[in-house]
Structure formats: C-alpha cells, structure tokens
Amino acid sequence: MAELRPGTGFQNLYGPEESDFRRRIKEVSAQWDAVAVNKWEQAGHIPRECFETLGKEGFFHERWAEGRKPGLLLALVLSETLAMVSAGLGLAVTLHSEVFLGVLSRAARDDEQRALMQAGLRGEAIGCFAVTEATGGSDLAAVNTTARRTKAGWHIHGEKRYVSNGGRATHALVLAQMDGYVNRNALTLFIVPLRDPGVTIPGFFPKLGTNSCDAAHIVFDGEFSESTQLGPPGGGMLLLMEALQYERMAVSAQLVAVAQASLRLAAAWARKRQQFGTRLLALQAIRHRLADVWAETLAVEALLALTVRSAIEGTDVGRATAALKLRCAAVAQKAVDEAMQILGGRGYTANFPLEGWYRDVRLARIGAGTDEVMRELIAADLDSSDMHYDKWLGILIQEDRAWIKEDRA
C-alpha cells in the first residue's frame, strides 16, 4: 500500500473517471501558458474564449450530466486543476459552474431559462454572482436592491459591488427585495442579462490577488422581462445557501491543491539547497516547519474527502462546508507563507509561483463567506441541544454537589 503523504489523500475519492477528466483538462489548459496568464493579469479579465473552449470540450456538460451531487467530484477536479493554471480562472469557472449553473439547474422555471442553462453548459453564456452591496458586506440579507413588477416584467434598481468576473460575464444572478412583498426579509433571485439597457458597469476595483478575474461595480436601473425572476418569490436565500455549499467545497479543493504544491516545492528546495555545509532539510528548524505543514495539509485533505463523500450521500453539509473552508483557507495561507520563508528571496520574486499564491489565497478568508461568518455557522451547532451530554452534565453536577457535602461532613 502506498504511503500516505500530501497529495495522495484523494486516492480513495477520485476514480478512473475523475483521473481521465483531469488529464483532459490539463491537455486543454496547456494552451494557457504563463505568458497568456500574465496577459490576463495585466488586462484584469478572463477571456470569454476560455469558457467557450471549456464548453466545447464538454467539461460543463459532464459535470452537470448526472446532477449536482453525482457530478461533485468532477466539479472539484475542474476547479482545482484550473486554479493551478490561474487563480482567477479557477475562481471565475467555479462561480460560473457551481453558483450560476447550479442555481439554474435547481430553479429554472421556463423555456428561456432552460435554454440559458444549455448556453451556460456550452460556455456561450457566462454567469456571475451579484450580491454584495455597500451596506451589506457579509450580511447577505441586508439588500437594498429592489425589483418592482411592471407590465412587461420587472424594474430592478440597485448597485452591486465586488462582482467577480462581472466584466466578462453575460448574465448576473442578482439578489433583490421584491417591492411590496409581504416578508421584507425574504429575498428573490433574478437572472439579469448584463448587455441589456438598464445595466451599467462604471468600473472595476483594483485588488491584491486573483487579478485576472475582475471585481466589477454594477448598477441596475431598468426594465427586464418576466423571465428574469428565477425560482419562487422569497426563495433566493435558500437557493444561494445551497449553491454556496458547493462553491465552498470547490474553493477548498483549490486551497488544498495550493497547500500541496507549496509544500512539495518547499521540500524539493530544502532537499537541494545547501546552507552552512549541509542541506536545508537536514536542519531541524526547517524539517519541523515542513512537518507541521505536512500534518495540517493531510488533515484538511481528509476533512475535504469526508465532507464531499457526505454531500454525495445526501447528508446536510452546510456547517461542515463552513468548517472546511475555514480550515483550508488557514492551512493554505500557512503553507504558502512557510514555503516562501524556506525559499527565501527566490520565493519572494515573481519568477516563482509562491508570490502569486500568497496574494491569491488571501481572498479565501473573505470570499464565499468570511472567516467570521464561517465561525458563526459552526458555532450555531454549539448552541443546539445535545441530549446525551446535557444529561451527563446534569449527573456530573449532582455527583459534584454530593461529593462536596460528603467532604464537609
């Protein structure tokens, strides 16, 4: 049996189908070399042709052929493989596939929306996710964007910020409050064509990392068709919460891949580099730092595998995906940081990938739910009843009181 080491944690998770899927993605993405990716970074946008290429090769179709849960392993392979080509590409494709197509697969209501789903699978329609507002941030429910019924359909008015890939997407999922709807806290999703009149993109926010995937400022103020409404009135948050679970698993797969790559690169350098008359890896301070990252990477690999298996089996993984992303983000950030430290000046230069990974992974502690929101989701379980331990605690308290009385006697 092969020795367990970082990067082998998915041997029992991925099978021949996923391995072949990865091989094909690598063959197709080989055309996007470092020169091309650097041009994307400088331009601040992912070319639409990337989505068309992935669509023509059938990657989106295959991921969604059997549905959300059965295709999850293919989703992870697609996400993590492309993220190693370009973090911005991995982010944009994950949002397109796991959020945009994911919501459409669940909530498409008419022929127009079903046709849009097919266009998205072909990579001809590209989706983004417009939720965050100036007044909202992590509070997704604090939405001021409104949708008011008109004779032709809907008038949508509001502004969204930090919309990843908003500059190259063709459609945006927009979370809005239906004007006049009885429940003020029940939000609805709308799918808005970004090329329609009534949509403007004033500009893009400069960022620390994932620079090839733009962060757009989008303003909505116009009339849109009846088919713009996606899913039931007031059902927007439920649709998004489910989609976000799958986005978090895909993002976690990307983070694990970066942690693995950082660790292996640092270990290769430490085996080769001579300092003070010996290899770096022979120095205990270096060996132990790498050992810590090795152990933590194995742990998040195992957590990812467990969470994914549970999701495929139909278990509720809402809070598990929060814990997963929280830990994967921390481990990936530590792995890149330690690897950069071990490579020294070389690791800090743009000639090595660590410098880019260092910037890119920081987004994971904010995007798809901040660390603080993830902790709140996890902590909610701590405030729920646990019959066994609640009962046991009562027994322990009674015994403790009895012991105190006996001791005084």
Is residue 398 domain-resident? no
Number of domains in the chain: 3
Q: Are residues 280 and 323 in the same domain?
A: yes
Is residue 11 domain-resident? no
Q: Are residues 347 and 242 in the same domain?
A: yes
Q: Are residues 174 and 259 in the same domain?
A: no
Which of 165, 199, 234 lies at the terminal end of a domain, its last residue?
A: 234
Query: 59: closest CA among 123, 8, 16, 118?
Result: 123
Which of 186, 206, 234 lies at the terminal end of a domain, its last residue?
A: 234
Q: Which CATH number belongs to the domain containing residue 302 in this structure? A: 1.20.140.10
In angstroms, the CA 29 to CA 73 distance is: 19
Q: Are residues 264 and 141 in the same domain?
A: no
Q: Which CATH number belongs to the domain containing residue 112 in this structure? A: 1.10.540.10
- Secondary structure (3-state) at 33: coil
Pair 28, 35: CB distance under 8 Å: no
Q: Are residues 161 and 242 in the same domain?
A: no
Is residue 278 domain-resident? yes
Q: Are residues 133 and 98 in the same domain?
A: no
> How sure is the predictor about 185, in pLDDT bands with cuts at 50, 70 and 90?
low
| pLDDT tens readout for residues 236-263 | 999 999 999 999 999 999 999 999 999 9
Q: Are residues 191 and 256 in the same domain?
A: no
Q: Are residues 115 and 156 in the same domain?
A: no
- Which residues span the domain enclosing 264? 238-382
Q: Are residues 106 and 26 in the same domain?
A: yes
Whole-number pLDDT of residue 2: 45
- Amino acid letter for position 67: G
Span between the terminal Cα atoms of the chain, in Å: 62
Q: Are residues 306 and 254 in the same domain?
A: yes
User: Kindly report the CA angle at 253 between 250 and 258, in degrees rounded to 5?
Assistant: 130
C-alpha separations of 57 from 53, 93, 98, 99, 254 in Å: 6, 14, 18, 20, 21
Is residue 403 domain-resident? no
Rounded percentage of the chain residues whose pLDDT exceeds 90: 86
Does 365 have pLDDT greater than 70?
yes
Is residue 208 domain-resident? yes
Is residue 9 domain-resident? no
Q: Which CATH number belongs to the domain containing residue 185 in this structure? A: 2.40.110.10
Which of 73, 90, 125 lies at the terminal end of a domain, its last residue?
A: 125
| pLDDT tens readout for residues 289-298 | 999 999 999 9
In angstroms, the CA 69 to CA 310 distance is: 10
Q: Are residues 114 and 134 in the same domain?
A: no
Q: Are residues 63 and 134 in the same domain?
A: no
Residue 397 phi/psi, 5-degree rounding, is -65, -45
Does 408 have pLDDT greater than 60?
no
Q: What is the DSSP letter of 51?
A: H
pLDDT (average), residues 389-406: 86
Q: What contacts 361, CB < 8 A, 6 or more positions away? A: 209, 255, 258, 329, 332, 333, 336
